[in-house]
Structure 1
């Protein structure tokens, strides 16, 4: 894939306009989002890691083959405890998610963790616009049985809450697991990916 950094936005009025399909990556500050994006984009440091969780509060945009735009949203969770950061994070994200050219919300979640209220509220909000794609990260840090049981628990919880989701993809940036499935989505945002791990 031909990938490149386009621009960043720190304020709602800085959000760029694109005529291309856009896929949004969103997750907690400690889900390994930057590592996963770098594995997906085939670049070691295109998406940068923050030294402090929740430190980066910009939305970063990347081009793939000049046909699709990936948006890396600032991590959430850690910043909720800091009101000075959260008051900038919320308006930015609220404005961003209404963009009409977004074709998919990829919600990243550590496979070892249960949903917290903030995760559930965010996924429910996004799922009302488009069926979300739940991306389980760090699968190399859990056994197959642990992942299977956790998936069942998370699916049950999403069904209880009425969160509309398209698929659950298991990934590991370290082991390169699930990257092919994500690349298929990026190269064809309208592709319906089968959940082989159901």
Structure 2
């Protein structure tokens, strides 16, 4: 949502820091955390090394800020989906359609959460658990939707199934660079979700 002109203007330091994190977020996704250097980020932000180190002392500090930014973005996205419909099925479809909305980036770079978690695991990086918590945000939100759909007993398992299925689609879409594959798989997921709607609820939706 665009800011109003009356909104307070952040301090220059905060603006510079936010810009650093935004650029680092994109570079970590496109190139990978390990292959992105301080110099790469500073060059794109167009600030001096001294100014850069004023905001962040290490690349791990930037990584922590990037993970925090992604977690906040994920939470905002989940809240937006929740506000789009009162029906849990439609909310679940929003999650599945995320693969189509982000198909260009997914085909080129993979899933931003999955790729970062995989890389940090290979590096045995201490932040691996923090990055994985974003998957936890999705899992918990999906579980709530399946519970609302009438699957309280197996909501957790269904949430993990949908989450893992979406990750599989993202991984293969990145490997094959195949948009038709993404759309086909999302259609299958959509049909599967529709099959989970209890008959009584389906009748209420149709009436």
- The TM-score range, normalised by the shorter chain, is 0.3 to 0.5
TM-score (norm 2): 0.32
**Which protein is richer in strand relative to its size?**
1
Larger Rg: 2
TM-score (norm 1): 0.33
**Which protein is richer in helix relative to its size?**
2
